């Protein structure tokens, strides 16, 4: 019987592991994608404590080394199932089963991509799914944002702080975004909208130079130095399907803090423990981008996980 199992090898999982190890909880951490999304990112300039840019994989390796130094046991396997009927159990992809007194889920979320080979090749070299993370690198440049929801509107408006021109590419002739966000975008002098348009290819060898689009049935090339995808995220929570852990319609985990903040009356009664990051299942906690669909930053994910582990420590003491 483990005291604490952590699922997730990104900034949330590793930050939680550092605190859990120092609290002598002897955690075991299962990492699916080492480093999570930051492990696939190039320059990181906005993580506190680093005066100069640091590569995402190097930053995550430092997180990992610190967790290991305090005694975290890291297993490079994915978890395929969680059971919570009598005792909390996790099963790995190789069918090994572990029992634990507490579980922290910190599996993050994956941005939706267009599925283009050129897009994947240029990720981190002009292709991004996070304006807050990468907008600073596009000062006085032209950028393209793909999407039509509130997230796309927010990304486009945020990018106007840095970029010279922002082109929003949307596959339909109307936005799905809220009325006020639409108005802000449509009335902004730096933003142009291409309706009924889809991206066919990203052009560039080492950096994004343009995108090839199909606009109203006609192919054309749009010059740009940046391509931002804002077509949604997919939380990495499919393994929780039969766990009993409450998820929203998109697969994000409900914690007590979320339920109370969003005032979801119909499920409030299921969150009885006095912990902000507890789920509806006793002993199961969650933090990071698998919970947070709003901010999605390494720093916020790390902070959530640290808070969750402090709650886990108290929970174990009181159990």
More confident residue, 33 or 247: 247
Q: What's the rounded Cα separation, in Å, for the pair 130 and 138?
A: 12
Cβ-proximal residues to 189 (8 Å cutoff; 6+ apart), any chain: none
What pLDDT does 42 receive?
Answer: 72
Judge whether residue 319 has pLDDT over 90.
no
- Measured from the Cβ of residue 145, the count of other Cβ atoms closer than 10 Å reads 31
- What does DSSP say about strands 109-111 and 79-83: parallel, antiparallel, or unpaired? unpaired
Q: What is the DSSP letter of 291?
A: T
Please provide the CATH number assigned to the domain covering 117-229. 3.50.50.60
List helix spans (H) across the chain: 11-22, 56-69, 117-121, 131-134, 150-159, 179-186, 256-261, 265-268, 298-318
Contact 28, 7 (CB under 8 A): no
- Nearest alpha-carbon partner for 308 in 111, 283, 293, 159: 283
What pLDDT does 127 receive?
Answer: 96
Which one is catalytic: 43, 130, 142, 150?
130
Mind listing the pLDDT tens digit for each residue in 69-117?
999 999 999 999 999 988 999 999 999 999 999 999 999 998 899 999 9
Contact 281, 254 (CB under 8 A): no
Q: Do domains 2-110+233-318 and 117-229 have the same CATH topology?
A: yes
* E strand intervals along the chain: 2-7, 28-30, 43-44, 54-55, 73-75, 79-83, 88-92, 97-105, 109-111, 127-128, 142-146, 165-169, 191-194, 197-203, 210-215, 218-223, 226-229, 233-235, 284-286
For range 180-209, the mean pLDDT? 97
- CATH T-level assignment (fold) for domain 2-110+233-318: FAD/NAD(P)-binding domain (3.50.50)
- Is residue 24 very low, low, confident or very high in pLDDT (cuts 50, 70, 90)? very high
Angle between helices 179-186 and 150-159 (to 10 degrees): 30
Which one is catalytic: 43, 95, 134, 206?
134
What pLDDT does 36 receive?
Answer: 87
What pLDDT does 296 receive?
Answer: 87
What pLDDT does 216 receive?
Answer: 86
CA dihedral for 233, 238, 240, 245, sign (positive or negative): positive
- Measured from the Cβ of residue 52, the count of other Cβ atoms closer than 10 Å reads 6
Active site residue 133: yes
Q: What's the rounded Cα separation, in Å, for the pair 223 and 213?
A: 11
For range 57-65, the mean pLDDT? 96
Judge whether residue 41 has pLDDT over 80.
no
Q: What's the rounded Cα separation, in Å, for the pair 206 and 204?
A: 6
Which one is catalytic: 43, 95, 133, 173?
133
Active site residue 134: yes
- Every domain of the chain and the residues it spans: 2-110+233-318, 117-229
Reported pTM: 0.86
Mind listing the pLDDT tens digit for each residue in 273-283?
999 999 999 99
Question: Would you give the distance in Å from CA 213 to the centre of its chain?
Answer: 27
């Amino acid at each position: 019987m483990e005291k604490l199992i952590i699922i997730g090898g990104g900034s949330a999982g590793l930050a939680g592991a550092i605190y859990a190890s120092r609290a002598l909880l002897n955690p075991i951490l299962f990492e699916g994608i080492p480093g999570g999304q930051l492990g696939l990112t190039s320059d990181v300039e906005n993580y506190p404590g680093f005066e100069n840019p640091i590569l995402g994989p190097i930053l995550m390796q430092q997180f990992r080394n610190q967790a290991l130094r305090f005694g975290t046991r890291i297993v490079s396997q994915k978890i395929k199932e969680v059971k919570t009927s009598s005792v909390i159990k996790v099963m790995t992809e190789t069918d090994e089963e572990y029992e634990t007194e507490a579980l922290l889920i910190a599996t993050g979320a994956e941005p939706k991509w267009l599925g283009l080979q050129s897009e994947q090749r240029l990720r981190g070299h002009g292709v991004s799914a996070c304006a807050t993370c990468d907008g600073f690198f596009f000062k006085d440049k032209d950028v393209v944002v793909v999407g039509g929801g509130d997230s796309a509107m927010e990304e486009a408006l945020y990018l106007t702080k840095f970029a010279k021109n922002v082109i929003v590419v949307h596959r339909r002739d109307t936005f799905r975004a809220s009325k006020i966000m639409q108005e802000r975008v449509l009335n902004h002098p730096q933003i142009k909208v291409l309706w009924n348009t889809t991206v066919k290819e990203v052009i560039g060898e080492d950096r994004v130079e343009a995108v090839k689009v199909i606009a109203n049935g006609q192919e054309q090339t749009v010059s740009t130095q940046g391509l931002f995808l804002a077509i949604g995220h997919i939380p990495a929570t499919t393994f929780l399907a039969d766990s009993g852990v409450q998820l929203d319609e998109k697969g994000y985990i409900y914690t007590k803090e979320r339920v109370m903040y969003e005032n979801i009356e119909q499920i409030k009664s299921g969150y009885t423990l006095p912990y902000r990051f507890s789920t509806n299942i006793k002993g199961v906690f969650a933090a990071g981008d698998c919970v947070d669909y709003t901010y999605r930053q390494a720093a916020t994910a790390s902070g959530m996980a640290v808070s969750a582990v402090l709650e886990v420590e108290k929970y174990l003491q009181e159990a």
